[in-house]
Amino acid sequence: MPVADVQRTIHAIFRIESPKLIAGLTRMLRDVGLAEELAQDALLVAIEQWPDAGIPDNPGAWLMTTAKRRAIDELRRRKRVHEKHREIGHTLEAVQHSPAQEIEAALDDDIGDDLLRLVFTSCHPVLSTEARLALTLRLLGGLTTEEIARAFLVPEPTVAQRIVRAKRTLAEQQVPFEVPRGPELSARLGSVLEVLYLIFNEGYSATAGDDWMRPALCDDAMRLGRVLAELMPAEPEVHGLCALMEIQASRFKARTGPNGEPILLLEQDRSLWDQLLIQRGLAALARSEALAGEAGPYHLQAAIAACHARARTADATDWAGIAELYAQLARRTPSPVVELNRAVALSMAEGPQAGLVLVDSLRDEPALANYHLLPGVRGDLLAKLGRFEEARVELTRAAALTRNARERTLLLERAEKCARGEAL
């Protein structure tokens, strides 16, 4: 195999294996920054050796062994062995003189537990939302700083700084490398699910830039969600979020036209929806329902997505059912954005005037002051009522508020139609 192909393979393997490497090393060292450095060291050794020696039969185990040996050297160099030998039940002399294989065996643990600890560490509430996003994508998504910066349209030094500060904060705050117990688990799990949800949403509807979607981010969020579902199979909201992401992702091929232009939900060719993803999502929703005493917010959002997925045509959509699910979601997690979505469902179930009444009640909400979808939805409803000039003004305002170029173009096109008195 040509060297270039080997190196591409090495990097692909490392992207898959790095979360497990970092998780195992963090348990040993209690330092996520150092763990990532040693994982990168193992990658460099692989790049040096594998082109000549060949890719091992079990590359993940090879990388873990190499990284662990580096970690043991680091423990010895920093004189941490005395502290570590108490944790693993060895005497200092035994650790210093035992073969490396015995030390590695003593330090082994269930990798699922380590990954779960890493998830909760990288999403710890002590970090800002931006830092949690960046650190999670770096440690668990395997993305480079450059890839994260490109995905969120921020300068690479900004992302690098966020990651460095996040690692430093975790160390300074002495955040334990553990899964919380008892009441703290639900609060901390909420932070983890929020991070995955934000990553997925940024991929599904990009906040800014020239692309309507960034599917790679959605893929990362779904992959991490599936891992979390395996690690926490008894948590209904984990399955609820997985269901939501799978069903939403099923629409990817139908959401853009030949030139990347957005295609709205009701105008999509549903034959392009990925039925495998829909079935996976519905199965995850069923698991969530079986586990849940009371439906959580991710379960409810997945149930809404399922209503769309089950409708063979846009006209067959159960809009009354969707409006009721949004009403439940609003009671569970009150939010003007949820109410705005409920207004859309109401307009489809009961007519545009019913939706407009609810939208107008939201116009003074501070949280929606610069939210482009408020005038966007209002413009659509006004157009359906034949109030085209008012609709044009609202859609033009929505276009000015969005930072996504594709969405801006779509909104301006709809405003132009209103200017000509044409139905949307």
Any domain includes 232: no
Any domain includes 188: no
pLDDT at 99 exceeding the cut of 90: no
Any domain includes 420: yes
Same domain, 399 and 419: yes
Average pLDDT rounded to a whole number, residues 391-401? 97
Average pLDDT rounded to a whole number, residues 131-154? 86
More confident residue, 403 or 307: 307
Average pLDDT rounded to a whole number, residues 167-192? 89
Q: Compute the distance between CA of residue 33 and CA of residue 22 in angstroms, rounded to an integer.
A: 9
Q: What is the pLDDT of residue 6?
A: 83
pLDDT tens, 222-257?
A: 999 999 999 899 999 999 999 999 999 999 999 999
Of 80, 109, 138, the last residue of a domain is 109
pLDDT at 120 exceeding the cut of 50: yes
Any domain includes 26: yes
Any domain includes 248: no
Of 62, 88, 109, the last residue of a domain is 109
Question: Ramachandran region of residue 30, left (φ > 0), alpha (ψ -120 to 50) or beta?
Answer: left
Average pLDDT rounded to a whole number, residues 151-177? 91
Q: What is the pLDDT of residue 169?
A: 95
CA 118 to chain centre: 15
- Domain range for residue 394? 370-424
What does the block give as tokens for 376?
């966007």
Q: Compute the distance between CA of residue 415 and CA of residue 376 in angstroms, rounded to an integer.
A: 10
Any domain includes 55: yes
Same domain, 104 and 7: yes
What is residue 334's DSSP assignment?
-
Average pLDDT rounded to a whole number, residues 375-384? 98
Q: What is the pLDDT of residue 373?
A: 95
Same domain, 332 and 379: no
Same domain, 393 and 351: no
Residue found under tokens 């395996």: 230
Same domain, 86 and 49: yes
If you average pLDDT over each of 96-105, 145-154, 366-375, which comes out highest? 366-375
Same domain, 328 and 375: no
- Is-contact 28 71, C-beta < 8 A? yes
pLDDT tens, 256-289?
A: 999 889 999 999 999 999 999 999 999 999 999 9
The rounded percent of the chain whose pLDDT value lies above 70 is 92
Q: What is the pLDDT of residue 91?
A: 37
Any domain includes 208: no
Any domain includes 56: yes
Helices (H) then strands (E): counts for the chain: 21, 2
Question: 408, 422, 380: which is closest to 211 by C-alpha?
Answer: 408
Mean confidence (pLDDT) of the chain: 89
pLDDT at 171 exceeding the cut of 60: yes
Q: How many CA atoms lie within 13 A of 186 on its CB side?
A: 5
Q: What is the pLDDT of residue 4?
A: 79
pLDDT at 379 exceeding the cut of 60: yes
Same domain, 417 and 350: no
Mention every residue, 6+ apart, whose C-beta is less than 8 A from residue 259: none
Same domain, 354 and 424: no
The rounded percent of the chain whose pLDDT value lies above 90 is 66
Same domain, 397 and 374: yes
Q: What is the pLDDT of residue 112?
A: 64
> Which of 278-282's residues contact partners 24+ apart within 8 Å by CB, and which partners?
278/246, 278/247, 278/250, 278/309, 280/246, 281/242, 281/243, 281/244, 281/245, 281/246, 281/247, 281/250, 281/305, 281/306, 281/309, 282/243, 282/247, 282/306, 282/309
pLDDT tens, 47-98?
A: 999 998 889 999 999 999 999 898 888 877 766 455 555 555 443 344 344 4
Of 305, 335, 358, the last residue of a domain is 358
Same domain, 15 and 75: yes
What does the block give as tokens for 40?
């990168």
Q: What is the pLDDT of residue 93?
A: 43
Same domain, 374 and 352: no
Distances 258 to 254, 263, 302, 416 between C-alpha atoms, Å: 10, 10, 28, 22
Same domain, 374 and 322: no
pLDDT at 151 exceeding the cut of 80: no
Q: Compute the distance between CA of residue 234 and CA of residue 301 in angstroms, rounded to an integer.
A: 19
Q: What is the pLDDT of residue 105?
A: 47
Mention every residue, 6+ apart, whose C-beta is less than 8 A from residue 151: 137, 143, 202, 203, 214, 216, 217
Q: How many separate domains does the chain show?
A: 3
pLDDT band at 407 (very low <50, low <70, confident <90, very high): very high
Q: Compute the distance between CA of residue 309 and CA of residue 401 in angstroms, rounded to an integer.
A: 30
Q: Compute the distance between CA of residue 290 and CA of residue 32 in angstroms, rounded to an integer.
A: 36
pLDDT band at 128 (very low <50, low <70, confident <90, very high): very high
